[in-house]
Amino acid sequence: MNCLFCRIIAGEIPSSKVYEDEYVLAFRDIDPQAPTHILIIPKEHYDSVLDAPPEAIGRLTEAAKTIAENEGLTENGFRLVINTGDEGGQSVKHLHVHLLGGRSMQWPPG
Ligand code: AMP
């Protein structure tokens, strides 16, 4: 298995887990870009949002809402990001949602 996030799901690589259910795992980003920076990933491998079914996307966003509440982010707000492909800045080819919060976000992103 050469997918980094599949190896995290399998427990072969350690992660700082914050949430898990039957379909989804979430853990803290190793290189945080905000005071709270969590990656939410499906346990089933999809390369990107382009090959993921709507149920998978729904499970990720539902988990994101739960985690945002757990992290105390719902009052001030937060950002969800799905980088896709090379120009989208996707470096890990396993679908993931970034949950960023704890500071004011800039728009447009760089
Ligand atoms: P992206 O650039 O959208 O593909 O996001 C990949 C994210 O994975 C980056 O924010 C990395 O910092 C993060 N990352 C890479 N390796 C690990 C790891 N072992 N544990 C947690 N986060 C990681």
Domain assignment present for 109: no
Domain assignment present for 46: yes
Domain assignment present for 53: yes
Return d(Cα 90, Cα 77) in angstroms, integer: 24
Summarize pLDDT for 8-21 with one digit per residue, the tens: 999 999 999 999 99
Tell whether the model's pLDDT for residue 110 goes beyond 90: no
Instruction: Indicate the number of domains in the chain.
Output: 1
Tell whether the model's pLDDT for residue 88 goes beyond 80: yes
For all residues of the chain together, what is the average pLDDT? 97
Residue-range definition of the domain harbouring residue 58: 4-101
From atom 17 of ligand 1, which residue's Cα is the shortest distance away?
A: 30
Distance 104 CA to ligand 1 centre (A): 21
* 96 part of the active site: yes
CATH number at residue 75: 3.30.428.10
Burial profile 5-28: b = 16 or more Cβ within 10 angstroms, e = fewer? bbebbeeeeebeebbeeebbbbbe
Domain assignment present for 110: no
Q: Around 22, how many Cα atoms within 13 Å sit in the side-chain half-sphere?
A: 1
Residue of 30, 40, 86 to test ligand 1 pocket, by largest number of atoms within 8 Å of CB: 30
Tell whether the model's pLDDT for residue 1 goes beyond 90: no
Residue of 7, 18, 29, 60 to test ligand 1 pocket, by largest number of atoms within 8 Å of CB: 29
Residue where the block lists tokens 């539902």: 62
